[in-house]
């Protein structure tokens, strides 16, 4: 008994229907955003242009897709239904009557469900790794740009050393299976993941050092939350069992932070060298403020525009990089539904079956496009400011 199929229009309607939680969430968020646009600051200004609206909508679409992945997906992304091997889009699964909307892959898994669940992996690793790189680059770029001299020379040399190394080769060295079995990724993670804790402790201390009660609460919460995340990521020892990361995921995470931090460092350093000549910085120096107070509370807030734009673009670059690593077999586990691995798996039979490759490719392309549109809108707004 062969597999039955539904028509193309029914497939389209089925896809639209499966995304109902996303459409509902988008309607609510975008409606509230337009209603309260004047009160939403920089986010509200994004809705002044079509580019900003498109960027926000696409990014929110994939964010809500990741959140509601379990509701949207009709099948388990790892489930194999052998009769559906290489099934074309619209194939009806015999036992349940559910439709493989985008068909089945060479291992008889639902392509649509894997694309939806792949958004969870991309939207966790790419933004999180970019934010950690932002913390590392900012923490080192502030003193390099503000103090100059020997500190700047040493830190700039280290950053340029990493930037001079070919990126793909760098990732190949950091993500190969041989490195995964060594303490190197955990040692690097132990160093990199300290930076957010150091950053926020310094931030609160410089601001509230004369208000000891408030400072104690903030430092205590920083150490508690930061320590919980730190031990969960570095030692996989989260007592609550919420934070768990596998060795290959940790390797990719550390590799992205390591490769992205020097770029953030150079941007922050250049911004600080420009902003430290402003009158309000001279006024803070005249008041006798601590250098770290000036860096964190006078200089950094005035550099937020270019940094926000860079973060959006860098998340896009990281997403492409994850896809590239997955394509070369250096990404997550082979059964992972992330988009890069899905593209790699489907490329093996590309001449015979095109349909398995298209959904992850379009998903990856659309998410990066949304981030680029968002960055363009933010850049325009920062120029106005």
Range with lowest mean pLDDT among 65-69, 75-79, 351-355: 351-355
What's the pLDDT tens digit per position in 342-383?
888 777 666 667 888 889 989 999 999 999 999 888 888 776
Rounded Cα distance between 279 and 224, Å, is 38
pLDDT at residue number 350: 67
pLDDT at residue number 385: 58
Range with lowest mean pLDDT among 249-253, 276-280, 295-299: 249-253
Rounded Cα distance between 202 and 296, Å, is 9
Range with lowest mean pLDDT among 2-6, 45-49, 185-189, 253-257: 2-6
What's the pLDDT tens digit per position in 12-25?
999 999 999 999 99
**Structural domains present in the chain:** 8-117+338-384 (no CATH), 118-323 (1.10.3720)
pLDDT at residue number 158: 92
pLDDT band for 153, please (50, 70, 90 cuts): very high
> Mean of the pLDDT values across residues 30-57?
90
Please state the pTM of the whole predicted model. Answer: 0.87
What's the pLDDT tens digit per position in 187-212?
888 888 899 999 999 999 999 988 88
> Mean of the pLDDT values across residues 121-143?
91
What's the pLDDT tens digit per position in 82-123?
888 888 888 888 888 888 989 888 888 999 999 999 999 888
Kind of pairing, strands 91-92 and 99-100? Answer: antiparallel
pLDDT band for 179, please (50, 70, 90 cuts): low
pLDDT at residue number 178: 61
pLDDT at residue number 26: 96
Q: With 70 as the cut, is the pLDDT of residue 1 above it?
A: no
pLDDT at residue number 331: 65
- 257: exposed, middle or buried (C-beta count within 10 Å: 0-12, 13-18, 19+)? buried
Residue, of 275 and 187, whose pLDDT is higher: 275
What's the pLDDT tens digit per position in 223-258?
999 888 888 888 777 777 777 777 777 888 888 888
pLDDT at residue number 147: 93
> Mean of the pLDDT values across residues 153-170?
85
The CA-atom distances, in angstroms, between 204 and each of 197, 211, 334 are 11, 10, 43
From the DSSP assignment, how many helices (H) and strands (E) are in the chain? 18, 2
pLDDT at residue number 299: 92
pLDDT at residue number 133: 92
pLDDT at residue number 6: 82
3-state secondary structure of 104: strand
Buried b (16+ CB within 10 A) or exposed e, 73-100: bbbebeeebeebebbebbbebeeeeebb
């Amino acid at each position: 008994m062969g597999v039955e199929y539904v028509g193309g229009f029914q497939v389209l309607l089925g896809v639209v229907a499966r995304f109902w939680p996303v459409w509902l969430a988008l309607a609510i968020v975008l409606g509230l955003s337009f209603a309260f646009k004047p009160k939403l600051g920089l986010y509200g200004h994004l809705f002044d242009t079509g580019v900003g609206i498109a960027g926000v909508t696409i990014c929110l679409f994939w964010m809500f897709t990741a959140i509601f992945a379990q509701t949207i997906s009709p099948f388990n992304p790892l489930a194999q239904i052998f009769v559906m091997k290489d099934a074309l889009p619209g194939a009806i699964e015999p036992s349940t009557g559910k439709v493989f909307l985008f068909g089945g892959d060479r291992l008889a898994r639902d392509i649509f469900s894997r694309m939806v669940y792949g958004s969870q992996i991309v939207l966790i690793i790419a933004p999180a790794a970019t934010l950690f790189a932002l913390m590392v680059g900012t923490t080192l770029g502030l003193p390099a740009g503000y103090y100059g001299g020997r500190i700047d020379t040493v830190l700039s040399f280290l950053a340029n050393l990493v930037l001079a190394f070919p990126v793909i080769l760098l990732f190949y060295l950091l993500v190969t299976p041989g490195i995964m079995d060594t303490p190197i990724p955990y040692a690097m993670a132990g160093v990199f993941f300290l930076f957010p804790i150091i950053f926020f402790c310094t931030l609160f201390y410089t601001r509230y050092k004369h208000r000891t009660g408030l400072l104690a609460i903030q430092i205590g919460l920083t150490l508690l939350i930061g320590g919980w995340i730190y031990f969960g990521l570095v030692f996989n020892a989260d007592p609550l069992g919420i934070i768990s990361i596998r060795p290959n995921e940790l390797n990719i995470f550390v590799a992205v932070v390591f490769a992205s931090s020097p770029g953030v460092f150079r941007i922050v350093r250049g911004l600080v060298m420009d902003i430290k000549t402003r009158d309000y910085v001279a006024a803070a120096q005249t008041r006798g403020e601590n250098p770290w107070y000036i860096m964190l509370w006078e200089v950094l807030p005035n550099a937020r525009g270019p940094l926000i734009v860079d973060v959006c673009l860098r998340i896009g670059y990281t997403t492409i990089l994850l896809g590239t690593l997955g394509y070369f077999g250096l990404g997550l586990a082979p059964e992972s539904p992330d988009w890069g691995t899905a593209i790699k798996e489907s490329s093996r039979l590309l001449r015979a079956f095109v349909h398995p490759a298209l959904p992850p490719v379009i998903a990856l392309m659309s998410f990066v496009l949304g981030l680029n549109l968002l960055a363009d809108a933010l850049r325009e707004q920062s120029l106005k400011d």
